[in-house]
Structure 1
Amino acid sequence: MKNSKISSVSALEILDSRGNPTIKVYVRLEDGTLGTASVPSGASTGSNEAIELRDGADRYGGKGVLKAVENVNTEIAGALTGKWATDQRVIDDVMIRLDGTENKDRLGANAILGVSMAVARAGANISGLPLYQYLGGAGTPRIPVPCMNILNGGEHADNSVDFQEFMLIPDGAPNFREGLRYVSETFHHLKSILNRKGLATSVGDEGGFAPNCKSNEEAVELITQAIGEAGYEPGKDLSIGIDSAANSFSPNLNNQYDLKWSGKGKALSKDLIDLTGKWLDNYPIILWEDPLSEGDWEGFAQFTKKYGDRIEVVGDDIFVTNTKFISKGIELKTANAALIKLNQIGTVSETIDAVRMCREAGWRYFLSHRSGETEDSFLADFAVAMDGGHLKSGSACRGERLAKYNRLLEIEHELKGHSEYRWS
C-alpha cells in the first residue's frame, strides 16, 4: 500500500496499573499515519514465557525498562525503518531474528511486543480498517463473552485465598452489552454481601474483591449467592470460571501442592482433581484454568480425561502461548483449551500462530490480559479478530480493565447487530 513504509519507531517508559514501568511504542509511517501500543506485564508467570527486559539496580526497584526502550529506539528502529507496516509477519520475523534468543531476552519481549502491536495498529490505520477487521478479516465478527474476575486470591491479592481468580461468565446473556450488565450488577451485589459479613471490599490487582475467606470454597459460595441476589439464575444466566494458578502453591512446580492459607496443608494432584469433582457437582463451573502446575503434565492429562467433557480445561503457565508446548499438549491430551496472552510469546504473529494451532486441533482458546495492564485496548480488538468466544480482562472496576470492556461495547455498537455473541 502506498506510503505504508515505516519512517520512524520510538518508545518511552510509562507506568502500568501496578505503578511499575512498562513500554509505550510509536510507529509512524511515511504519510504521517501513527500506530501506538503499550505493553502489559504479568505477576503470575510461567517459567517458559518470553522474557521482559528490566534494568536492574536501584531505579524503580530494578524494574525500569530504559534498556528495552533504548533497544526500540536504536536496533529495532534501524532494522524496521523502510519496511512495509502492512507486512506484519515480515516485521515480526525481522525482530525475532534480530533478537536471536529463544525467549527474546536480548532485546526484551516487552520491546519486541510493543513494536509488533504498534505496527499492527499503524497497518490498520493506513488501511482505513478497525483493528479487529484488519487482523481478523471479513465475516461476521463474534464479540467475546466476558469472563470477569470478581474475587481475587493467590498472587493477585494479599489475602487467605489460594486460588487466584474466581470469574463470572454471562454465557446466558443475549449480547455483550447485556452480559456486561449481568456481571457488573452481580459484582456490586457481591460487595454488599461482603459488607454484611464484615469481609473486606478492597480489590486486588485485577479489580476483584480480595476478602479473607475461610476457605477457597467459601469464595465460590459467595459468588453463587451474589448471582442469586442480583436476580439471575446460576448455571443459566451466569456461570463461574476458576483460575487456580497452581504454580503459586506448588513448591516443586510439579505434583506437590501446599494450600497453607486455606488450612488444607500438603496435597497431591489427586487431591485437587478429587476436589474439582465435588465443586463441579455443587456449583455452576464451566471453565477451570491451571488447576495444576506447569510441570504436572500427567496430572493435567488426568484432570482433562476426568472432566474435559464437562468443562473447559485451560492451560496457561503450562503452554505460555507457545506452539511448541501447545503442540505437546494436543498430543498428550493435556487440556482442551489454551490461554492466549500476547506478551507470553512476544509478537502478534506468533500469538496468531498459537490461536491457529488450537483452532485446527479443535481446542478452544481463551484470550487474556495481564495483571499489570495499561489503558491500551488492543486486546479487545484482538479478541474479536481471533473469534475465540471469550475473554478475560479483569473486574468491573479499574480503568485499565474497563478500557477493554468499553472498547468491546464500541465494537458491538459499530456493528449494529451484525455480530454474534456466544460462548461456543
Structure 2
Amino acid sequence: MEPGGERELLPRRHLPELRHQAAEYYRSNEVPQRLEEALNATFYLRPPDLYGHLANYFSKFSKPPVICKLIGRKVLDGIGRPTLEVEIFCTVKNHEKSICSIVVSSHSEILDNASPEAIDADEKERNDSINRALEWVNGSLNEMLRDLQPADQCKADELLGEYFAKKVEEEKERKAIEKEEQEAAISAPAYVPALSAVTPSGKKKGGKLGKKSSVAEKPISPAEPIEPLLCGSIAIGGLSLAVAKTGATINNIPLYLRLALMKHDQDLPKELTMPLPMVSLLSCGKSSSGKLKLMKEVMLVPPAELTVKQGIERLLEIQKQMVRLLDPVSKGPSVLKRISHLGCLITGCDSLEQPLILLQTACRNLGLELGIDVQLAINCAAHELMDYDGQQWSNICNAVGSRCYLIAEDAAKSISKLVEDQNINVPKCSGLIIKYTNQTKISDLTELTRLLEGQRHIAILGSPAGESSDDSLVDLAVGLGARFIKLGGLSRGERVTKYNRLLAIEEELAKNGTLRSGENHGFVDFAEEALTVEELLNACPTTEQDPWPSEHSQPLLAQDQNPLSLHGSTLHLNEATNLDPSIFP
C-alpha cells in the first residue's frame, strides 16, 4: 500500500505463510497455540489494527511490573517546613516508568511562643530526620525493594518492618557505646570543696524577713514526654504508602479500593460508606490566657443523613456567619487574615462558653439547631483538665458517655505497638484519632482498624499539624472504613485539597452505585458496662489479689498505664450536655 493511500484488508492468502513463520520462531515457547488463536481471530483486520491487537493480546502474558528505582526528595509541607517526597519507578513491559509519588505529612507540634533555642533545636532535629530518611530511600531501601512487585504490599511492609527493627537495634548499640565512653571518661570526679553552711555576716539561711511563706497551688501536671522517634523513621511510612499507591495505579484502581481489598482479604465490599468530616471552625485555646487554653479547637460535624457535599456546604454557610459575627464592621478581610495552620479562624475568648455561644448564634441565624442540624465537637487539653488522673476520665465517661463520643486523639502507644499488643490500651473512650506518620505501615493501619472495630471503638483518620498537599489520607479513611475524618478547616490549600478529594470519591461511588448512606452509631453507656463488669467480678470467689485482674482491665484504666492519650482528647457532643461538677472527685 502506498504511503497516504487507502488502507486495504490483509489478503487471506498471506495468513498460512505468516502462521508458519510465527510458529517456527516461537516453537521453543508456549506461544504457538496462542499466536494461532490470535491470528485466526484477526484475519479480517487492517494491518495497523492487526499489530495493535496482537500487542494487546500478548501483553496479558508479559511479566508483571516490578519496582526498579526509588527517588527521595526534600520538599516543603503546608507551613514551609521540610518533609519527604518519595517517587517510585517500575519496569513495565521492559521500560522504566515513573508510576507515582507521595509527600509524607510530618507529625510534630507547632511551637507557639517557644524560645528561639527551642525553635532552632526543633528545626535541626527535623532536618536531621529528613536527611537520614533521604539516605535510606536513595540508598539501602532502594536496593532492598528493587525487583519487588508493588502489588505485594504485605511483602513490602515486612521488609520495611525488618529494616526499621534493625535500625532501632543499631541505634541502641550506638547509644550504649556512647554511654560507656562517657562513663570511662569520668573515671574519677574532680575535687570540689564543701560549701560552708554558715551564711555571711552570721545570718541564717532562709527566706527574706517579713515575707510569709504561702502554700503554692497544685500546678498542672506537665505533659508526658513524647515517645522518642528514630531519626529517619518517616522513610518507612512514606515508602509503605508509596508502594500502596503504586500498586493501585498499576491495577488501574483508586487507592481507596486497593485499601478496601486489603482490609477485607481481597473480597471487595459491595458498598462503601463515606466518613463524616470533623471540620475545624475555631482555634481559640492558644490565643487565650489561663484556663481558657483548655478549649483548643471547636469543630462541627454534619449529620449522617446528609451527603458529604451537602454537609460541607452547610458548614461553609455557618463559617460565613461566624466571620460576620466576629467582624461586623468590615467585610471580613481583617478576620480572614487570622487563619491558623489548621485552616480555621483564630480568635480569643473571655470564657469557655463564648466560642460555643458564637457557634450557636451562627447556627440560629441560618435556622439551624446545634445538636440536631449540625453536631458539635470540642478538642480540649484533657491532660490539663484532669491532671492525668485516670479516675476523673472514667467519671466523665460514665457521666456523658451515653450522650456523646469521647475520643482519645493521641494514643498511649504508636500504631505499630498497638497492633503488636492486640489491645487498645488507652483510658476508657469511644475511639481513637489515628495519624499516619513516622514508621507506620499500611498493613499496621489495616490491622488497627480491624482491631478497633472488634473492640467496638470508632476509628478517626486525623490530619497532622504539618500537613502536605498529598490527598492520600482521604483514600485511607474511605478504604479502611473510618467513621470520621479530621482534616482541619475549610481554608488553606493543603486542607481544601483533601476536602475536594472527599467530594470526588463520594461522586464516584454514587455514580457506580456503591455508595452506602451514612449510619448513625449509638453511644456506649460506660456506666452500665462498668456495672456489669463489677457484678461479674463480685460473683467470682474473693481473692487477696487486685479485684481488677488484667483480663478485665479494658473497661477501666489500668493502674500501671501511661495515660498519654488524655492529651488533646475530643468531646463529640451530639446534644446539649450539661456537665455536673459533682462527677469530678
Q: Provide TM-score, normalisation by structure 2.
A: 0.58
Superposition map of 1:22-421 within 5 A: 22-31=83-92, 32=97, 34-44=99-109, 62-64=125-127, 65-100=130-165, 101=168, 105-106=229-230, 108-137=232-261, 138-139=268-269, 140-154=271-285, 157-160=286-289, 161-162=292-293, 163-196=295-328, 200-201=335-336, 202-246=338-382, 250=383, 257=384, 268=386, 296-319=389-412, 322=415, 324-325=417-418, 330=424, 334-343=428-437, 346-415=440-509, 416=511, 417-421=513-517
Cα distance in structure 2, aligned partners of 1:83 and 1:328: 29
8 Å contact from structure 1 (residues 25, 38) kept in 2: yes
**What one-letter code is carried by the residue in structure 1 that aligns with 2:441?**
T
Compare CA radii of gyration and give the structure with the larger one: 2
8 Å contact from structure 1 (residues 7, 28) kept in 2: yes
**What one-letter code is carried by the residue in structure 2 that aligns with 1:220?**
L
CA-CA distance at 1:135 after TM superposition = 0.6
CA-CA distance at 1:94 after TM superposition = 1.1
Cα distance in structure 2, aligned partners of 1:390 and 1:180: 14
Give CA deviations for 1:113-148 in whole Å, capped at 9, x if unaligned.
111111110010011111111111322111111110
CA-CA distance at 1:194 after TM superposition = 0.9
CA-CA distance at 1:67 after TM superposition = 2.1
8 Å contact from structure 2 (residues 284, 349) kept in 1: no
CA-CA distance at 1:88 after TM superposition = 1.4
After superposition, the Cα gap between the structure-2 partners of 1:58 and 1:367, relative to the gap in structure 1 and judged at 3 Å, is closer
Cα distance in structure 1, aligned partners of 2:407 and 2:399: 14
The question of 1:4 aligning with 2:4 is answered: no
Cα distance in structure 1, aligned partners of 2:74 and 2:63: 32
Give CA deviations for 1:263-318 in whole Å, capped at 9, x if unaligned.
xxxx645xxxxxxxxxxxxxxxxxxxxxxxxx554443333233222211111223
8 Å contact from structure 2 (residues 431, 459) kept in 1: yes
CA-CA distance at 1:174 after TM superposition = 2.0
After superposition, the Cα gap between the structure-2 partners of 1:366 and 1:219, relative to the gap in structure 1 and judged at 3 Å, is same
Cα distance in structure 1, aligned partners of 2:246 and 2:228: 23
Aligned length: 369
The question of 1:17 aligning with 2:78 is answered: yes
**What one-letter code is carried by the residue in structure 2 that aligns with 1:180?**
I
After superposition, the Cα gap between the structure-2 partners of 1:347 and 1:331, relative to the gap in structure 1 and judged at 3 Å, is closer
Cα distance in structure 2, aligned partners of 1:240 and 1:386: 24
8 Å contact from structure 1 (residues 340, 355) kept in 2: no
After superposition, the Cα gap between the structure-2 partners of 1:105 and 1:211, relative to the gap in structure 1 and judged at 3 Å, is closer
Cα distance in structure 2, aligned partners of 1:323 and 1:189: 43
Cα distance in structure 2, aligned partners of 1:320 and 1:106: 15
Cα distance in structure 1, aligned partners of 2:75 and 2:241: 16
> Helix, strand or coil: the match of 1:393?
strand
**What one-letter code is carried by the residue in structure 2 that aligns with 1:147?**
M
Q: Provide TM-score, normalisation by structure 1.
A: 0.79
> Helix, strand or coil: the match of 1:63?
helix
**What one-letter code is carried by the residue in structure 2 that aligns with 1:19?**
G
CA-CA distance at 1:390 after TM superposition = 1.3
> Helix, strand or coil: the match of 1:111?
helix
Give CA deviations for 1:66-102 in whole Å, capped at 9, x if unaligned.
2221221112112111122112122122112112239
**What one-letter code is carried by the residue in structure 1 that aligns with 2:260?**
G
Q: Match for residue 290 of structure 1?
A: none
> Helix, strand or coil: the match of 2:346?
coil
After superposition, the Cα gap between the structure-2 partners of 1:42 and 1:228, relative to the gap in structure 1 and judged at 3 Å, is farther
8 Å contact from structure 1 (residues 207, 396) kept in 2: yes
CA-CA distance at 1:396 after TM superposition = 1.0
After superposition, the Cα gap between the structure-2 partners of 1:320 and 1:152, relative to the gap in structure 1 and judged at 3 Å, is farther
**What one-letter code is carried by the residue in structure 2 that aligns with 1:133?**
L
**What one-letter code is carried by the residue in structure 1 that aligns with 2:302?**
P
8 Å contact from structure 1 (residues 6, 30) kept in 2: yes
**What one-letter code is carried by the residue in structure 1 that aligns with 2:409?**
D
CA-CA distance at 1:173 after TM superposition = 4.6
Give CA deviations for 1:22-67 in whole Å, capped at 9, x if unaligned.
001111221125121111123449xxxxxxxxxx988955532222
Which runs of 5 or more structure 2 residues have no equivalent in the other structure?
Answer: 1-61, 111-118, 170-226, 262-267, 522-585
After superposition, the Cα gap between the structure-2 partners of 1:334 and 1:60, relative to the gap in structure 1 and judged at 3 Å, is closer
> Helix, strand or coil: the match of 2:299?
strand
